[in-house]
């Protein structure tokens, strides 16, 4: 086998059926990992992994604790260990605080924050014997307030500090936990955002364009690999200079 940056590693990527998670999965496989794509969307996830060697689909709703227990039992049975977990699945509902219903608030918090809590908790429980790396997908919106996404911003800010709490706990087991903060990235999640708002975002970005999913995957690869062995509890910003 060619020397890869993730040779012999077993990874789980939530939300791996589309967008950034799909790019992460492709990159991980290229670097020698076996990757479980854990996603609610069975049709896309299965079709994607059917065409990719060393990628496996498992249907999971990140907000269900029983789903997480079943996923890790399956992974340990099939592969014997878990080295890398990427809590990437997320949803966006674009509304300001005055127009966010309690129902929408709960939906976003359930997937984006409770989902990352459950994944990180069970990831740590299943990595304790040999260490590992957990990467939590936050956002630019987890660093600065976005007026048009109240619940989303709150969920991503929560991910940022949950990551730091988990990192300080996980360190005793050599489990590293870091967050990644992408700027606006060209994926299906953007379909609800009006063109004028996208142009506005691009104008506020020093590099004058959106990110491609592969550019986020490159950062996640670094954090998954042993190259980042001294980084934990940190936030990694990939935003084209927006917060500079
Ligand atoms: P996407 O909408 O293209 O893909 C999200 C994936 O998550 C889909 O495959 C979907 O089926 C899955 N998913 C949704 N709810 C789920 C659940 N309950 N359980 C399991 N899987 C579920 O989104 P994208 O853009 O790839 O986003 C990935 C992550 O990156 C999200 O956490 C998002 O908030 C974050 N992000 C995205 C940015 C962007 O501009 N695209 C910017 C900053 C952060």
Write the DSSP string, 42-57: HHHHHHHHHTSTTEEE
* 53 within some domain: yes
Share of the chain above pLDDT 90, in %: 93
Domain count, the chain: 1
For residue 1, being part of any structural domain is answered with no
Residue 26 pLDDT > 80: yes
**pLDDT for 149 beyond 60:** yes
Q: Considering only 68-72, 96-100, 116-120, 186-190, which range has the smallest mean pLDDT?
A: 186-190
Using the predicted structure, report yes or no on whether residue 1 has a pLDDT greater than 70: no
Do residues 158 and 179 touch, judged by C-beta distance below 8 A?
no
The pLDDT > 70 percentage for the chain reads: 99
CA 204 to ligand 1 center in whole angstroms: 23
Ligand 1 centroid–CA 142 distance in Å is 14
Residue 138 within a domain: yes
- The atom of ligand 1 lying closest to the CA of 210 is 40
Pocket probe mutation, ligand 1, options 189, 212, 214, 220, max atoms within 8 Å of Cβ: 189
Residue 244 within a domain: no
Higher pLDDT among residues 144 and 2, named by residue = 144
How far apart CA 186 and CA 188 sit, in angstroms, is 7
CA of 15 to the centre of ligand 1 (A): 6
58 is catalytic: no
**Which atom in ligand 1 lies closest to the alpha carbon of residue 15?**
7
At 108 the pLDDT is 98
Separation of alpha carbons 107 and 117, rounded Å: 15
Q: Are 162 and 116 in contact (CB under 8 A)?
A: yes
What is residue 2's predicted lDDT score, i.e. its pLDDT? 67
72 falls within a domain: yes
pLDDT over 60 (residue 99) = yes
Is the predicted pLDDT of residue 69 greater than 80, yes or no? Answer: yes
Residue 148: DSSP 8-state = T
What is the torsion angle, in degrees rounded to the nearest 10, for the CA atoms of residue 20, residue 26, residue 32 and residue 33?
50
Q: Atom 12 of ligand 1 has which residue's CA nearest to it?
A: 15
> Residue 206: which CATH number?
3.40.50.720
Q: Is there a domain that residue 156 lies in?
A: yes
Query: Is 3 domain-assigned?
Result: no
Q: Compute φ and ψ for 128, nearest 5 degrees.
A: -55, -35
- pLDDT, averaged across the chain: 97
pLDDT, one tens digit per residue, over 30-39 is 999 999 999 9
Q: In testing the pocket of ligand 1, which one of 20, 66, 110 has its CB within 8 Å of the most ligand atoms? A: 20
pLDDT reading at 122 higher than 90: yes
Domain limits at 41?
Answer: 10-238
At residue 3 the predicted structure's pLDDT band, cuts being 50, 70 and 90, is: confident
Closest CA to 86 of 144, 172, 6, 4: 6
User: What secondary structure does DSSP assign to 123-179, as a single string?
Assistant: HHHHHTTT-EEEEEE--GGGTS--TT-HHHHHHHHHHHHHHHHHHHHHGGGTEEEEE
Query: Among 56, 152, 169, 230, which one carries the catalytic annotation?
Result: 152
128 three-class SS: coil
Q: Does 170 map to a domain?
A: yes
**CA-proximal residue: ligand 1, atom 33 (nearest):** 90
Q: 183: CA distance to ligand 1 center in Å?
A: 13
């Amino acid at each position: 086998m060619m020397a890869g940056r993730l040779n012999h590693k077993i990874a789980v990527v939530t939300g791996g059926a589309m967008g950034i998670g799909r790019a992460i999965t492709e990159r991980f496989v290229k670097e020698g990992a076996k990757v479980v794509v854990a996603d609610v969307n069975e049709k896309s996830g299965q079709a994607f992994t059917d065409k990719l060697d060393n990628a496996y689909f498992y249907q999971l709703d990140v907000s269900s604790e029983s789903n997480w227990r079943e996923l890790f039992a399956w992974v340990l049975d099939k592969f014997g260990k878990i080295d890398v977990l990427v809590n990437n699945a997320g949803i966006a509902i674009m509304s300001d605080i005055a127009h966010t219903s309690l129902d929408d608030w709960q939906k976003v918090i359930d997937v984006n924050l409770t989902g990352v809590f459950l994944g990180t908790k069970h990831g740590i429980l299943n990595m304790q014997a040999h260490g590992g790396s957990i990467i939590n997908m936050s956002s630019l919106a987890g660093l600065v307030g976005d007026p048009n996404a109240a619940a989303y911003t709150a969920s991503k800010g929560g991910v940022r500090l949950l990551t730091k709490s988990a990192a300080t706990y996980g360190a005793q087991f050599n489990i590293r936990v870091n967050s990644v903060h992408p700027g606006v990235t060209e994926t299906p999640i953007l379909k609800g955002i009006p063109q004028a708002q996208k142009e506005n975002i691009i104008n506020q970005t020093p590099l004058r364009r959106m990110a491609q999913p592969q550019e986020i995957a490159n950062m996640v690869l670094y954090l998954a690999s042993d190259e980042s062995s001294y980084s934990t509890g940190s936030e990694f910003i990939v935003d084209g200079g927006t917060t500079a």
